[in-house]
């Protein structure tokens, strides 16, 4: 069973999903791939992980670097999970390119990785902001974001990233 909780961010309403112990989804309402990991039947329920996630998001949107990240659980291909775990290593206020992530994966696996494949995995990240896919940019600058380019820009500016 999955559970959900609404969160009202300064950038719009969001939905948090959980398996009961970890965050399995965090989306802006209406974003591309919204609810991609939700089971057909979900229930709203107050859970400790939702309280922890709301506290983390409140801290983040106040311009602070949140310390204790809520637990996150992924259910996807091993490639996507590898990409999402690398996203979690991108420091607050920094960006990396899809190509840089591809090279990191090549070092991990010893196999060639295409930046476009990385882009597909980044775009399907089901846990927005906490798994900071907004910190990934193209080699020539700002690129798309499932929640909308305006939100990506706002998140980067919140973190102090100079985006042109």
CA nearest neighbour of 158 among 136, 126, 135, 141: 135
4's enclosing H/E stretch is strand 2-9
Rounding to the nearest 10 degrees, give the CA dihedral for residues 149, 154, 159, 160.
Answer: 100
What's the CA gap between 22 and 45, in Å, rounded?
Answer: 13
Contacts of 41 (CB under 8 A, 6+ apart): 1, 2
User: 3-state class of 5 per DSSP?
Assistant: strand
Residues acting as catalytic residues: 133
Q: How far is CA 84 from the centre of its chain?
A: 8
Phi, psi of 42 (to 5 degrees): -135, 160
What's the CA gap between 155 and 163, in Å, rounded?
Answer: 11
User: 3-state class of 120 per DSSP?
Assistant: helix
């Amino acid at each position: 069973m999955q559970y959900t909780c609404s969160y009202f961010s300064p950038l719009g309403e969001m939905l948090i999903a959980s398996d009961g112990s970890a965050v399995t989804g965090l989306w802006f309402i209406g974003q591309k791939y919204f609810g991609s990991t939700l089971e057909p039947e979900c229930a709203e329920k107050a859970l400790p992980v939702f309280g922890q996630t709301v506290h983390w998001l409140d801290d983040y949107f106040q311009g602070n670097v949140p310390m204790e990240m809520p637990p996150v659980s992924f259910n996807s291909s091993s490639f996507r999970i590898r990409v999402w775990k690398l996203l979690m290593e991108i420091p607050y206020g920094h960006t990396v390119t899809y190509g840089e992530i591809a090279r990191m994966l090549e070092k991990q696996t010893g196999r060639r990785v295409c930046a476009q494949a990385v882009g597909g995995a980044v775009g399907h990240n089901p846990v927005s902001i906490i798994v900071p896919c907004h910190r990934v940019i193209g080699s020539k600058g700002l690129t798309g974001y499932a929640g909308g380019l305006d939100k990506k820009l706002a998140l980067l500016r919140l973190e102090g990233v100079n985006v042109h």
